[in-house]
Amino acid sequence: MPGQLVLLRHGQSQWNLENRFTGWVDVDLTEQGRAEARAAGKLLAEEGLQFDVAFTSLLQRAIKTLWLALEELQQPWVDVERHWRLNERHYGALQGLDKAETSAKHGEEQVHIWRRSYDIPPPPMADDDPEHPRFDSRYAKLDARVLPATESLALTLERVLPFWHDAIAPRLKAGETVLVTAHGNSLRALVKYLDGIAEDVITGVNIPTGIPQLYRLDDQLNVIESRYLGDADAAKAAAQAVADQAKGKA
């Protein structure tokens, strides 16, 4: 039988708190975010999960969430692989901007298209922008042509899927229990793929911070069951808080 899969979005980051587009900017967790990570670890412990391997991105908010969850779970020895393909969606020229102010300037409808449409990316970051990932040492060994200047969710899925097929899926098929700690959109891309969610439906799906989602899969890694751990109403409220961010409500 294949192992179990858990998806965990990082806890609240400083720019989540400030309601800013974050993308590939390496923003740290807030104190609330660290508490969310520890709470996630407690939920995983209550479920009795024993992990064989964990995967995360190259961004510290996801890495630290993983550390804190594994520490709370008392499994700090679990093998961890970090990879850029699990990074958050690149928000292009929007990165660093306040979501509500951007909505006021460009219109809520336009920002909703940039933020939530499946295949329309935001305006790209300039190639000579010092924040472009090609100037970041952690991506120095990569071909600059694979590094995004902006991404839609569709492009994020194209980036994430090779890592799923090459690194994550084989471990699940080998019967291992896998934890993936990443970001709202890299996980949303995986959820779309796993659950077969239509393009016009995934735009309304929100991934709450710090609440583990457990998947039970068959031999072909088709989904048998998925659920958020802990209180279902709390997960629903947390997902709604994510949805409200672009409107300046959270």
Q: What is the pLDDT of residue 50?
A: 96
Q: What is the pLDDT of residue 179?
A: 98
Q: Which domains does the chain have, with CATH numbers?
A: 5-247 (3.40.50.1240)
- What's the half-sphere exposure (Cβ side, CA atoms, 13 Å) at 100? 11
Name beta bridge partners: 116: none
Q: What is the pLDDT of residue 249?
A: 40
DSSP string for 176-218: --EEEEE-HHHHHHHHHHHHT--HHHHTT----TT--EEEEE-
Q: What is the pLDDT of residue 248?
A: 46
Residue 115 assigned ligand-binding role: yes
Residue 145 assigned ligand-binding role: no
Name residues of the chain where pLDDT drops below 50. 246, 248-250
The whole-angstrom distance between residue 5's C-alpha and the CA centroid of its chain comes to 15
Burial category of 51 from C-beta neighbours within 10 Å (exposed 0-12, middle 13-18, buried 19 and up): buried
DSSP state of 11: P
Residue 15 assigned ligand-binding role: yes
Q: What is the pLDDT of residue 245?
A: 61
How far is 41 from 45, CA to CA, in rounded Å?
6
Longest distance between any two alpha carbons in the chain, whole Å: 52
Please give the structure tokens belonging to residue 198. Answer: 């239509």
Contact 65, 33 (CB under 8 A): yes
Residue 61 assigned ligand-binding role: yes
Instruction: Quick: pLDDT tens for 37-47.
Output: 999 999 999 99
Q: What is the pLDDT of residue 93?
A: 92
Please list the active-site residues.
10, 88
How far is 210 from 219, CA to CA, in rounded Å?
28
Q: What is the pLDDT of residue 83?
A: 98
**Helix, strand, or coil here: 223?**
strand
